[in-house]
Amino acid sequence: MKIRVANISRPYTSTHKWMKEQKLGIDIRYMEPFGFAHLRQQNAHDPSSSWRISDRARERLKNAANEIRSSKAQIASMKRLYYPVNTPACRYQKQLVLDSLFRNVLIALPKELDSFFVASVVMMNFRRWFPHNKVLYVGSTTDIVRRMADVFVDLTGYTKNDICIYGAKKKCDRLAEWCNYGVVFATAEMLSADMKDGRMGSDVCLVVADDAQRAVSGSHMLCEMIRTFILNKGNFRILALTDNRITKVASLQLIVMNLQIGLIRSQSAFKDDISLTVSSPRMQEIYVSITHEMELVANALVEVGSIIYMYICIYIIS
């Protein structure tokens, strides 16, 4: 697998600072993985406003940060983002990857635009940054889970022995399967059934929720799973994917609330980039003015061509 390494300048910290990604020329915030207080307190009208977190949430962030002991190698790995180069590069996908690192994002794109590629890149980097935590993909059916696991293997270079398709074994063996793997593909129904004992969910660092339109109902297993992770004091990022057109504002608000979404990205946000990616080739006339140097070259070619033409005529006549 070929990958491109993009420099992210410095690893994240628990303080609220800005960082700049020089290659793409955009400003993005450091990732704050502890809880969702920043999503509720952030001023949506002022993107440059500082984070406002309550004293109780700040104390919880401090306690959670003290429990983490990152090695020097792990801190160094957080400085760089791995991005596959064996697939065509699309600007909108790169932007979605960066957005997904620092906020809980809902990506609403058609299937043809391959939003799972963004999820695969984010999953690969989170697994590398947090080797002691788990990356979780939640699909709607078992068939979709198996198919997306194969796509993930093809995109990232992971082997099938490195990932876990949860539910392939009996219930008594699932806990050991959960503990032995860092990348897990599962359905919300199976996870919710096995999380009642409270031993799962606290070590998850990323949840990729496919078919996010299911979260319109707060009683859905996907929403119950997210709430269970929060109650188990899990510190994780959420990346929600959907290819359904959500026309009702009320339904969108419910999805945002149930999945703790902080940013929505749809097709209209990347209209120009997507049109360049999926549009068919078009003929375009370009008029080039003739310079003096071009005239000299053209006259020299005419003289050489006339001499050759003269010799050809003499040869034919003789």
User: Could you read off the pLDDT of 26-80 as tens digits, one per residue?
Assistant: 333 333 333 333 343 333 333 333 334 345 444 444 444 444 456 677 777 778 8
Cα-based angle 232, 16, 235 (whole degrees, multiple of 5): 15
Q: What is the predicted pLDDT for the residue at 105?
A: 92
Which position has the higher pLDDT, 199 or 243? Answer: 243
Identify which of 225, 198, 235, 213 has the alpha carbon closest to the alpha carbon of residue 61.
235
Identify which of 224, 211, 217, 215 has the alpha carbon closest to the alpha carbon of residue 148.
211
Which position has the higher pLDDT, 200 or 221? Answer: 221
User: Could you read off the pLDDT of 71-103 as tens digits, one per residue?
Assistant: 677 777 778 888 887 777 788 888 899 889 888
The verdict on pTM exceeding 0.85 is no
Q: Show the 3-state SS of 180-217.
A: HCCEEEEEHHHHHHHCCCCCCCCCEEEEEECCHHHHHC
The CB density around residue 51, as the number of other CB atoms within 10 Å, is 13
Which position has the higher pLDDT, 179 or 57? Answer: 179
Q: Considering the chain, what percentage of its residues have pLDDT values greater than 70?
A: 73
Q: What is the predicted pLDDT for the residue at 281?
A: 60
Average confidence (pLDDT) over 11-21:
34
* Cβ contact 111:269 at 8 Å: no
Average pLDDT, the chain: 75
At position 163, the amino acid (one-letter code) is: I
Strand 26-29 to 80-84 pairing: unpaired
Segment among 6-15, 175-184, 234-243, 270-279 with least mean pLDDT: 6-15
User: Domain-by-domain residue ranges, the chain?
Assistant: 93-278
pLDDT beyond 60 at 168: yes
Q: What is the predicted pLDDT for the residue at 282?
A: 65
User: Could you read off the pLDDT of 124-147 as tens digits, one per residue?
Assistant: 999 988 888 889 999 988 899 999
Q: Which helix (H) or strand (E) holds 26?
A: strand 26-29
Q: From CA 105, how far away is CA 96, in angstroms rounded?
A: 9
Q: Tell me: domain 93-278, CATH 1.10.1740.10, correct?
A: no
- Angle, in degrees to the nearest 10, between helices 142-156 and 115-129: 70
pLDDT beyond 70 at 211: yes
Q: What is the predicted pLDDT for the residue at 50?
A: 32
